[in-house]
């Protein structure tokens, strides 16, 4: 909380995802494309294949334009965005890996210079020197991946670094090698995709057909590296992390299954259009394949980002930028004394630092719908019990009074009034709504932290007593503060649901 909070109503997670996915898509191509160019050039030179050499010349123009201009722009954009979104995490990464970043920037400089020399050297250099420059380009580009990969994989699996603080423990962490192999596969696969895009613009010919097949081979080899290393990557993530995800985190699991499905679809597309129907690769087909590749890579990166929750650096810093090591201080002194830049509205400042990095009021991951028709006591209860909600959120690190201040701030921004009037519902339907809002975020029937067994066979009177004793069951559980109609409707719904659950279990 040493930095001011960049308060805009856009969802930060979404903003980050868009910039990051575009950047990784380009930056991995920058590596795979380099390899593709030198390997294909070596073969073409050996066979004096002028058609191929002309194609490669054209491809390298497209390549340098995309990677240097677009890659560098989105790379700067990433720094811009992470610095604004999570300055504390960015600071931690720079601080612990300063020499890694410095080396990465040197490799990047070599990469840029070599790319420019390669592009302008086609007709001016001897074939041998031209190829040497190409290999230098690829080597430097891959080394920059090697380094960034150490830092990215560290964020999910910092491992021994947490206790030793050693640079190499953090860098060569449990997902370093699987992630490096996986990303190298991605580079190779993307080379196949981009070069397919360029060749798709050519008129139908034998040359086009054979190049399409050649490109598909790159795509397939890339996928053959990617799919097993996806599995290897999963194995490297500590069991506790994946188990928690399976129990309570729908997002990373969805992302993971999307990654497999898009991966398979891409594999089939490469087989179909690269081998069977290779004379039919039009711009449209190439663009669809590109979109599949983007969707695949997007899902993987989304998985990697979301499975880390509630942390931004696992077991070290929460997603809202609060360091684990400071947790006891925050719980003791509250957050306010540690917020350096204060606006005068304490409720707003607290909300920003505790929740706003992941939530908006009514945009991306909105808080308003969760709290419409409720009250300050309930909102404060959810804030204090945030870590018990499905989805794996960070715990609230502050004092009682601060939770109440956030609740007050939120309460002023949600709709007031009984749920019955707000949603025009009656009876069990109203009860369902009350359940979704007041209980369902922590207890799912047939799912996360199911409580139907505890409620089974209870009469309305007994369920009523349970609602009165909410606070005695768990510190995290807010008291029931709905009105009488909501209480009766909830009791009716709970009875109905537990009977259902009973009749389904033999």
Residue 82 Cα distances to 39, 85, 105, 316, 320, angstroms: 36, 5, 18, 17, 12
Distance CA 156, CA 260 (A): 20
Among 365, 372, 444, 499, binds ligand HEC (CB under 6 A): 365
Q: Is 358 in the site for ligand HEC (CB under 6 A)?
A: yes
| C-beta of 184 vs 360, nearer to ligand HEC | 360
The residue within the footprint of ligand HEC, chosen from 67, 74, 153, 320 (CB under 6 A), is 320
Cα–Cα distance between 249 and 245 in angstroms, integer? 5
Q: Which of 26, 119, 193, 382 binds ligand HEC (CB under 6 A)?
A: 382
Site string for ligand HEC, 337-356 (x = CB under 6 A): -----------------xx-
Residues 303, 221: contact at Cβ < 8 Å? no
Q: Which stretch binds ligand HEC (CB under 6 A): 150-158, 176-184, 260-268, 441-449?
A: 441-449
Distances (CA, A) of 419 to 368, 470, 482, 484: 14, 20, 9, 11
Contact flag: residue 454 with ligand HEC (CB under 6 A): yes
Residue 394: DSSP 8-state: P
Rule CB under 6 A: is residue 257 a binding residue for ligand HEC? no
- Residue 23 CA to residue 403 CA, distance in Å, equals 38
State which residue, 26 or 388, has the beta carbon closest to ligand HEC. 388
CB 281 within 8 A of CB 199: yes
Q: Does 19 bind ligand HEC (CB under 6 A)?
A: no
The distance from CA 212 to its chain's CA centroid, rounded to whole angstroms, is 33
Calpha distance 443→455 (Å, rounded): 12
Of 455, 485, 491, 497, which one interacts with ligand HEC (CB under 6 A)?
455
- Taking the least distance from each CB to ligand HEC, the nearer of 391 and 418 is 391
* Nearer residue to ligand HEC within complex by CB, 150 or 252: 252
Half-sphere exposure of 417 (CA within 13 A, CB side): 6
**Is 88 one of the binding residues for ligand HEC (CB under 6 A)?**
no
One residue of 33, 185, 192, 385 binding ligand HEC per CB under 6 A: 385
DSSP string computed for 22-51: HHHHHHHHHHHHHHHHHHHHHHHHHTT-HH
- Which residue's CB atom is positioned nearest to ligand HEC? 319
Q: To 10 degrees, what angle do helices 72-85 and 87-96 make?
A: 110
Shortest Cβ distance from residue 389 to ligand HEC (Å)? 6
CA distances to 6, 304, 470, 493 from 496, in Å: 47, 40, 20, 5
Instruction: Pick one of 182, 386, 405, 497: the residue that binds ligand HEC (CB under 6 A).
Output: 386
Is 294 a binder of ligand HEC (CB under 6 A)?
no
Q: How many CA atoms lie within 13 A of 143 on its CB side?
A: 18
Stretch that binds ligand HEC, among 22-30, 75-83, 87-95, 440-448 (CB under 6 A): 440-448
Q: Is 309 near ligand HEC (CB under 6 A)?
A: yes
Distance CA 359, CA 368 (A): 10
Contacts with ligand HEC, residue ranges (CB under 6 A): 250-251, 309-310, 319-320, 354-355, 357-359, 365, 367, 369-370, 382-383, 385-386, 388-389, 391, 393-394, 396, 438-439, 441-443, 449, 451, 454-455, 466, 473-474, 476-478, 480
């Amino acid at each position: 909380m040493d930095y001011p909070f960049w308060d805009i109503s856009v969802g930060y997670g979404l903003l980050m995802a868009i910039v990051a996915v575009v950047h990784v898509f380009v930056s991995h191509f920058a590596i795979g494309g380099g390899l593709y160019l030198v390997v294909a050039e070596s073969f073409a030179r050996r066979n004096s294949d002028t058609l191929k050499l002309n194609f490669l010349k054209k491809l390298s123009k497209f390549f340098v334009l995309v990677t240097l201009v677009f890659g560098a722009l989105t790379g700067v954009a990433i720094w811009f965005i992470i610095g604004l979104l999570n300055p504390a995490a960015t600071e931690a990464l720079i601080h612990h890996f300063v020499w890694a970043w410095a080396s990465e920037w040197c490799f990047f400089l070599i990469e840029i210079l070599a790319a420019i020399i390669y592009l302008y050297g086609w007709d001016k250099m001897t074939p041998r020197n031209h190829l040497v420059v190409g290999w230098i380009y690829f080597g430097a580009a891959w080394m920059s991946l090697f380094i960034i990969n150490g830092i990215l994989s560290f964020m999910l699996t910092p491992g021994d670094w947490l206790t030793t603080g050693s640079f190499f423990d953090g860098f060569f962490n449990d997902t370093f090698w699987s992630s490096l192999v996986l990303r190298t596969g991605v580079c190779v696969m993307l080379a196949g995709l981009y070069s397919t895009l360029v060749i798709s613009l050519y008129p139908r010919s034998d040359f086009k057909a054979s190049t399409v097949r050649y490109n598909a081979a790159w795509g397939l080899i890339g996928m053959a590296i990617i799919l097993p290393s996806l599995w290897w990557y999963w194995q490297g993530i500590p069991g506790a992390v994946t188990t928690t995800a399976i129990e309570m985190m729908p997002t990373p699991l969805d992302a993971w299954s999307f990654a497999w499905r898009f991966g398979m679809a891409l594999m089939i597309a490469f087989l179909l259009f690269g081998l069977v129907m290779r004379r039919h690769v039009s711009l449209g087909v190439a663009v669809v394949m590109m979109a599949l590749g983007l969707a695949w890579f997007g899902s993987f990166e989304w998985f990697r980002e979301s499975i880390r929750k509630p942390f931004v650096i696992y077991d070290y810093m929460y997603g809202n930028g609060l360091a684990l090591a400071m947790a006891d201080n925050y719980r003791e002194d509250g957050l306010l004394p540690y917020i350096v830049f204060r606006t005068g509205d304490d409720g707003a400042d607290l909300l920003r630092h505790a929740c706003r990095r992941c939530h908006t009021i009514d945009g991306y991951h909105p808080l308003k719908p969760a709290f419409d028709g409720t009250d300050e006591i309930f909102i404060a209860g959810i804030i204090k019990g945030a870590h018990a909600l499905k989805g794996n959120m960070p715990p609230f690190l502050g004092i009682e009074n601060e939770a109440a201040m956030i609740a007050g701030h939120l309460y002023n921004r949600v709709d007031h009034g009984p749920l019955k009037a707000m949603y025009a519902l009656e009876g069990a339907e109203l009860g369902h709504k009350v359940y979704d809002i007041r209980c369902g975020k922590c207890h799912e029937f047939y799912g996360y932290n199911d409580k139907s067994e505890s409620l089974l066979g209870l009469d309305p009177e007994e369920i009523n007593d349970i609602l009165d004793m909410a606070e005695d069951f768990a510190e995290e559980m807010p008291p029931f503060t709905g009105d009488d109609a909501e209480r009766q409707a909830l009791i009716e719904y709970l009875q109905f649901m537990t009977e259902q659950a009973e009749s389904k279990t033999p």
